Amino acid sequence: MLACFFSLLVLETIQISIFSVLELLVVPFITLFYFLFRKKKSLYFSLFLGCYSAADILHIIDGNNLNEIFYFACNILYVLSFFFLILEAFKTLDIKVLYQKFLIQTIVLVALVFYLFTVLCDIIDPILFDTKVLSLVRVVEHSYNLLLLILLAVSFLNFLDNDTKKSLYLFIGCLAISFSEFLLIGYYYLTDLEMLNYIAIVLNIFAFVMFYLQSNFAIEVKNKSNAFV
């Protein structure tokens, strides 16, 4: 009976490990597919996929050991990936149009980003991480969350400004990846409800499917002579 119990426990652990690895391989696979089959590639989007994929691969190598070097390397790569995706969404924004037509929406989004960031800080700040560089860990965590919120806001403004399938898919992808990360924050810091983790994984995969699909569409130039892909 005891042997049977341990066998089931080991089998379950192996299944969870395999599932985690497969989930982390999704983005590198999409990245490989993008570089092999997309003739016209966006520089910022390519850097986003490259950084995110590298972070996922490092995560696979590290496993659940939570080595501090791997932690900082992974999270810095994730932060860089979000920064490049912000640039990808921002490059077709017309600031003049935003000021003339969407000033109120922009102000509301800035206020919302600030509010949500303070909420996330209140969740993370009291937590004592098992590390000798606690302040540095919190800087990384807060930078990660702040860029994620900025990404969501910029992608929405990009959709308001351009109103194209490309900008819509990009916004849906950013919305999905943001909700995925927020659910993971709830799962890691607030509750151990396993369902949140599974929903976050599904949303993350869906987000990258949307990101890949938006790369099918060329940028529709609307009197922007300096627009580029």
Question: How far, CA to CA in Å, does 101 sit from each of 1, 74, 97, 98, 159?
Answer: 70, 39, 6, 5, 13
Residue 227 is predicted with a pLDDT of 41
pLDDT digits (tens, 9 = 90+) for 49-74: 999 999 998 888 876 656 788 888 99
For residues 59 and 23, is the Cβ–Cβ distance under 8 A? no
pLDDT digits (tens, 9 = 90+) for 141-163: 899 999 999 999 999 999 998 88
Question: Using CA atoms, how far apart are residues 47 and 61, in angstroms rounded to an integer?
Answer: 21
For residues 23 and 180, is the Cβ–Cβ distance under 8 A? no
Of 19-28, 111-120, 196-205, give the lowest mean pLDDT range. Answer: 19-28
Question: pLDDT confidence of 5, banded at 50, 70, 90?
Answer: very low
For residues 157 and 98, is the Cβ–Cβ distance under 8 A? yes
For residues 176 and 206, is the Cβ–Cβ distance under 8 A? yes
Answer whether residue 197 shows pLDDT above 90.
no
- The domain segmentation of the chain, as residue ranges, is 17-214
For the CA atoms of 128, 134, 140, 142, the dihedral, rounded to the nearest 10 degrees, stands at 50
Structure token pair of residue 216: 């099918």
pLDDT above 70 covers a percentage of the chain that reads 83
Mean pLDDT of the 78-98 span: 90
The residue that leads in pLDDT, 222 or 171, is: 171
b/e code 75-101 from CB counts within 10 Å (16+ = b): bebbbbbbbbbbbbbbbbbbeebbeee
